[in-house]
Structure 1
Amino acid sequence: MDEPELLVESDGGVLTVTFNRPRQRNAMTWGMYEGLYDACERADADDEIRVMVLKAAGDKAFVAGTDISQFADFSSGADGVAYEEKIARIVTRLEDVGVPTVAVVRGFCVGGGLGIASVCDLRVAARSARFGIPIARTLGNCLSMNNYSLLLQHLGPARTLDMLLRARLFTGEEAAAAGFVAELCEDGDLDATADGVVQTLLGHAPLSMWAAKEAVRRIRRASIPNGDDIVGRVFGSEDFHTAVAAFAAKQPVVWQGR
């Protein structure tokens, strides 16, 4: 019997969500996204839960984006807008969780994985961690305005454009220097370091932490403009449809800009 793609366990006031597709570098399926949403509901419904932790099975990746097969049936820009709305429902719910959320990152944290980590309150990472959204050299798609806002909040405009335009991955050290990673450690120390952060959070005042989370969230969201026109143009482009097929066939893409 196959193991579940997402594991959710509660112990000692901590709800732990484990992305469990290590052979696929924990690329997210729709079922995993929905399971993450349900875990957020559980965290807020259970008064015993004081911290929510997100981590991954295996040592290659936290989450290596959304499973590319999810894009195979896209036929227009409207499909891209609908996709981003579905993703926004999940990441917004994660950002809205009332207790502190901690992403524990080893290996690749890219694409949708970076979006998930970005809405967590704290990130603990191993030196092997790599952070980025290399879509300019892979699928030729774009982000939602909400995700651009998250990157700007965490990295600032210069680092955000560096990450996106050059499609490069930030090292654990670079992410820590930018303030995106709260604790950076050796790979073998990741679990112990993450547990130390969790234990600190368990000892702090829940309402003080909630107020800080809520204030930061409201300030960020207050300035997000609509970006459906951007998403529709890019996801409806010839470049995107060509790139999805090329990715599946492991072929290079010749970008046309249309």
Structure 2
Amino acid sequence: MTEDLLVDKTGAVLTVTFNRPGQRNAMTWEMYQRLQQACEQADTDSDVRVMVLRGAGGEAFVAGTDIAQFTEFDGDQGIEYERRIGEILNRLAAVHVPVVAAIEGYCIGGGLGIAAVADVRISNTSAKFGVPIARTLGNCLSMSTLSVLTQLLGRSRTIDLLLTARLMPADEAVRCGFVTASTDELDEELDKLTSRLVAHAPLTMWAAKEGMRRLHAGSVHDDDDIVRRVYGSEDFAGAVQAFLKKEKATWVGR
């Protein structure tokens, strides 16, 4: 039986593939759990420098949570579901290495939430983004997810997508900054991006990610531990010496 979520490490890149193409990679509870486990792997394997998220089949990144998971839901179960999804998205946002979402086709509902907490999003030109629940399930988003989408898309576009239930095309996603590149050569673009990230200083990238995460959470001044770790690292000391000697720095991530 084919696994619904695949985790593969090639060199310094850990790739997570949502693997239910027949269901447009709609997420099951088990897939959410395995995504969280992949985050732990990315943080505990010192060889991993980049984490990539993508969908199998070419038609979808993730088309939300599998609707079959919602049978016989009530209000309390809805609260627990949104709380649990929030925990998983927060865990993904806190992964130490850069997280890249490579998006083909539909990126909607829960898929949009997953993509939103990645650090960089690239897509093919046929990608579509949205949360069409006003015309499909009639459920809602938690305020934590609304906060993330508003931060990235802006208030006006976020409420427009939610109220009209329209799907935003790739070119609009690029214009508003949600996607950094949209191309029909997605694999080539992904290879170039991951190669660039793998070559960069791990702790500098971690500090940028962690600082941004704390800013979003409202912890504006709580960064002494970040600064201390980076400036006290072997990477920083070695890079200073390499710069003075006009040599290329070597990054060890500590």
TM range (shorter): 0.7 to 0.9
- 1:63-97 alpha-carbon deviations (Å, 9 max, x no partner): 0000001110212x111100111111211110010
1:200 is aligned to 2:196: yes
Report the secondary structure of 2:154's partner residue. Answer: helix
* Equivalent position of 2:250 in the other structure: none
The gaps in structure 2 that reach 5 residues or longer are 220-254
Superposed, 1:138-177 pairs within 5 Å as 138-177=136-175
The separation in 1 between residues aligned to 2:73 and 2:55, in whole angstroms, is: 28
- 1:12 Cα deviation from its structure 2 partner: 0.9
Letter in structure 1 aligned against 2:123: A
* Equivalent position of 1:256 in the other structure: none
The separation in 2 between residues aligned to 1:141 and 1:6, in whole angstroms, is: 25
* Equivalent position of 1:107 in the other structure: 105
User: How large is the RMSD of aligned CA atoms in angstroms?
Assistant: 0.9
Decide which structure has the larger Cα Rg and report it.
Answer: 2
* Equivalent position of 2:182 in the other structure: 184
Superposed, 1:123-134 pairs within 5 Å as 123-134=121-132
- 1:110-131 alpha-carbon deviations (Å, 9 max, x no partner): 0000000000000010001000
- 1:151-184 alpha-carbon deviations (Å, 9 max, x no partner): 1110111111111111111100000000000111
* Equivalent position of 2:236 in the other structure: none
1:45 is aligned to 2:44: yes
Q: In percent, how many aligned pairs have the same letter? A: 56
The separation in 2 between residues aligned to 1:145 and 1:201, in whole angstroms, is: 32
The separation in 1 between residues aligned to 2:217 and 2:169, in whole angstroms, is: 28
Report the secondary structure of 2:188's partner residue. Answer: helix
The separation in 1 between residues aligned to 2:217 and 2:161, in whole angstroms, is: 22
Q: Alignment partner for residue 211 of structure 2, among 191, 195, 215? A: 215
Superposed, 1:74-85 pairs within 5 Å as 74-75=73-74, 77-85=75-83
Letter in structure 2 aligned against 1:134: P
The separation in 1 between residues aligned to 2:158 and 2:216, in whole angstroms, is: 16
The separation in 2 between residues aligned to 1:68 and 1:216, in whole angstroms, is: 33
1:25 is aligned to 2:19: no
- Structure 1 stretches of 4+ moved >4 Å: none
* Equivalent position of 2:223 in the other structure: none
* Equivalent position of 2:134 in the other structure: 136
1:60 is aligned to 2:56: no
Letter in structure 2 aligned against 1:31: E
The separation in 1 between residues aligned to 2:117 and 2:50, in whole angstroms, is: 14
Report the secondary structure of 2:121's partner residue. Answer: strand
Q: Which of structures 1 and 2 has the larger relative contact order (alpha carbons within 8 angstroms, sep 6+)? A: 1
Report the secondary structure of 1:109's partner residue. Answer: strand
The separation in 1 between residues aligned to 2:143 and 2:180, in whole angstroms, is: 25
* Equivalent position of 2:235 in the other structure: none
* Equivalent position of 1:7 in the other structure: 6
What is the aligned residue count? 219
What is the TM-score of this pair, normalised by structure 2? 0.85
Letter in structure 1 aligned against 2:50: V
The separation in 2 between residues aligned to 1:124 and 1:194, in whole angstroms, is: 8
* Equivalent position of 1:250 in the other structure: none
Letter in structure 1 aligned against 2:166: R
The separation in 1 between residues aligned to 2:17 and 2:150, in whole angstroms, is: 27
Letter in structure 1 aligned against 2:11: G
- 1:23 Cα deviation from its structure 2 partner: 0.3
Report the secondary structure of 1:174's partner residue. Answer: helix
Report the secondary structure of 2:51's partner residue. Answer: strand
The separation in 1 between residues aligned to 2:81 and 2:159, in whole angstroms, is: 23
